Amino acid sequence: MTRQTSRTSPARAPQDLGELVTGGIGTSPARPDGTLKVLGEYAYSSDLWAQDMLWGATLRSPHPHARIRAVDIGPALAHPGVYAVLTHEDVPGENVYGLKIADTPVLAEDVVRHEGEPVALVAADHPETARRALDEIVVDYEVLEPVTDPERAAHDDTLPRLHPGGNVVRHQPVVKGDPDTEADVVVSGVYTVGMQDQAFLGPESGLAVPAEDGGVDLFLATQWLHGDRAQMARALGLPPEKVRLTMSGVGGAFGGREDLSMQIHSCMLALRTGRPVKMVYGRQESFHGHVHRHPARMYYEHGATKDGRLVFVRARMYFDGGAYASKTPVVVGNATSLGTGPYEVPHVRIEAWGVYTNNPPCGAMRGLGAVQPAFAYESQMDKLARALDMDPVRLRRLNAVAQGSVLHTGQVLDSPAPVAELLERLEKLPLPPRERTGPVDIREMPGGVSNTTHGEGVVRGVGYSVVMKNVSYAEGVDDYSTARVRLQVIGGEPAALVHTAAAEVGQGLVTVHQQIARTELGVERVTLHATDTDVGDAGSSSASRQTYVTGGAVKNACEAVRAVVLGRAAGRFGEDPAGLSLAGGKVVSRTTGVVAGLVDVLGDDVIEETREYHHLPTHPMDPETGHSPRVHVQHAYSAHRAVVDVDTELGLVKVVRLDCAQDVGRAINPDAVAGQIHGGSAQGLGLALMEEIKVEDGRIRNPSFTDYLIPTILDMPPMRVDVIERADPNAPYGVRGAGEPPTISATPAIVNAIRDATGLELTHVPVAPEHICGLEP
């Protein structure tokens, strides 16, 4: 994959960039974990080992919906090498947990609501012994008819109620102006998005170790240590301080590790047996053991004036949450608050339903709640442009929001919103030549080395999209993080230690923390403490929030440490502390230059400070109108232009280019930002062309990487990434979340390009060959 990256940013003073210290803000230091990962020497959670360790395994339901009549664990307990077999009767505390709504059983009690739901646990001295013991557990099921249609589940009261409150997790309308107004030109469409998997390469895994105080230590891969601990403590019947979590190597996440998987199960087995217990899911079990992206069905109608001004947007959206709530309430909130896209629309009526079914549970995945409506509204914008005989980019620029715009929720955009600029920048990037001057290289054709075409029946298309995505938690959640920073002399040089509970899941947070400390404290040597629950909560590594929120906490803690140091130096040398700063390991006066070395000021003392960072308060959406003065603390903006070649005879697609322009507010680590944009674009390409969990009657038909396809390096085209930095004045250093927006904008750009090439409607993603060849709608 080639990369051409440009950055445009306002002028800054050198001290703001950390240029006086190597590896500060605005530079791209190497990741401390990078070399080990490239060499295959990095320790992931699945590599954990302990003396006298047992292996845990989970018995899962083969049915999407069934009543449990009886469970016989006797034969499994009698199996040689088996140390424990547990059911719901053995849950020490509450047999329920959940991120937003506590509705998920630790182990199924009287009913199973999805295929793969955990029913029993086994601990044995060998993983194969544990698996064989699972086969000896006898469960008597009464199979029930599954509820599988989310739209019907939202409205049909004759269907079984899967939960006491009914089948609707959340219904949220948003109304602005007069949604029944008329327009000169009206276009409508029904759009569907398939179930996408996070497809992280490291399966769910961890090691639980019973402790002498009656508690348990868990080493695992997760996205939120404190969120896990709170749910685990209730289920284990232990006080939170006796449930200690330490982060191990994480092999990808993308939202799939926000919900619990093996956490409570491994701890139950460890506490029962008194021995360490390791659990590692296989790939098929992983598909059943974590949540996926919500499939959606969306009905959209756009109206505009003859000159292209949007008049109204009307939409109904249905999100299949599967058996349990997980992040469905958040998905509904995001979808409705972002459902018109980055456009000014005077009249809006949007409704969304998040619904329980007996399909696989769905929850957080990169861009949660924004991916699905973006496919719909960007498809609509292209359809509207065709109806108006207008250039689709011009239509988007004409209606783009800007700083000061009022969204349909009533929130005012109070920071830069360079939507039109992103589109302008994309248009200026050169397009690849349409005509081939040399011999055909089959690797550049749809179908690649399968040699299905040498250009016969191949047509080219170009498509654009631009989207907005919220950053951080929303709707009244007190979103904060905690950091502890220590400064001392080690080996004759000043050194900082940064301790947070923020999960490094591959996004590069490890370098961000180091860069902030180097910049704020003026030291080269910065070490990261093990990520664990011995420090305050950092929230989840999700919602593109960690650089913003935990970065803010690290900054606050560093500033507190610096204030102590400068106060001490000022008293010792008779300086005004307001005129002192730290740079290059020295205390520097604005007027007299270097005052002293930091080593001399610190001596043998250790200065340590702990601070939190809370972003501006947000407010819930009104349940009837959807209005809120601030639904989201921040919005991020991304635009893509896709160029595709389509073999119209076989329905094969080659993405020729996938250029991106994105506002990141401030690039703390430019190389990491570019990497996030490339990675997000790859996931967007996957959803556009290949990634879909096939579910029939509640059962997953393709739970493997043989049948669930994800993009490889051969599928990714060359990309130009144009990063601009329009600082958010309310955010630390002006940053904006960068990881999720490109996933959202890549998908509709690719599909719009296929439409441009073929003239087809293409109302479902991923676009399959049969859709292009006319075998399916």
Domain coordinates of the chain in residue numbers? 45-144+217-249+259-280, 296-474+620-772, 480-614
The pLDDT of residue 399 is 98
Nearest 5°: phi and psi at 218?
-120, 125
Comparing 12 with 732, which gets the higher pLDDT?
A: 732
Of the listed ranges 125-129, 269-273, 681-685, 773-777, the least confidently predicted one is 773-777
What is the second-level CATH architecture of the domain 45-144+217-249+259-280?
Answer: Alpha-Beta Complex (3.90)
What would the DSSP string read from start to end of 415-469? S---HHHHHHHHHHSPPPPSS--S---GGGSTTGGG---SSTTEEEEEEEEEEEE
Coil vs helix vs strand at 195: strand
Which helix (H) or strand (E) covers residue 396, if one does?
A: helix 392-399
What pLDDT score does 438 carry? 81
| pLDDT-wise least confident of 78-87, 434-443, 680-689 | 434-443
Please name the helix (run of DSSP H) or strand (run of DSSP E) that holds residue 510, with its range, or none: helix 509-521
Location of structure tokens 């549970």? 361
Residue 22 has pLDDT above 90, yes or no: no
The predicted pLDDT at position 19 comes to: 41
Structure tokens at 544: 């593109």
Scanning 574-699, the segments in alpha helix (DSSP H) are: 598-602, 670-689
Burial class of residue 430 (count of CB atoms within 10 Å of its CB; 0-12, 13-18, 19+): exposed
Give me the pLDDT at residue 21, please.
59
* pLDDT over threshold 80, residue 679: yes
Burial of 703 (0-12, 13-18, 19+ CB in 10 A): buried
Question: pLDDT, tens digit, for every residue of 266-290?
Answer: 999 999 999 999 999 999 999 999 9
Q: What pLDDT is recorded for position 439?
A: 86
Is residue 85 predicted with pLDDT exceeding 50? yes
User: Measured between alpha carbons, how far is 543 from 550 in angstroms, rounded to an integer?
Assistant: 13
CATH 3.40.190.10, domain 480-614, yes or no: no
What is the number of residues in the chain?
Answer: 777
**Intrachain domains 296-474+620-772 and 480-614 with the same fold:** yes
| E runs forming strands in 633-734 | 634-647, 652-663, 695-696, 699-700, 719-724
Strand-strand pairing, 652-663 and 719-724: parallel
Write down the residue that tokens 């974990």 correspond to. 33
**Each residue's pLDDT tens digit, 365-386:** 999 999 999 999 999 999 999 9
pLDDT at 20 over 60: no
Residue 639: both structure tokens together: 């635009």
- The pLDDT tens digits of the residues spanning 189-204 come to 999 999 999 999 999 9
Residue 11: per-residue pLDDT: 30
Range name among 15-29, 188-202, 713-727 with the lowest pLDDT average: 15-29
CA distances (Å), origin 419, targets 376, 466, 565: 18, 7, 43
Per-residue pLDDT at 405 exceeds 90? yes
Would you say residue 12 has pLDDT above 90? no
Dihedral of alpha carbons 472, 342, 26, 43, sign: positive
Q: Which fold has domain 296-474+620-772?
A: Aldehyde Oxidoreductase; domain 4 (3.30.365)
Confidence check: pLDDT of 562 > 90: yes
pTM, entire model: 0.96
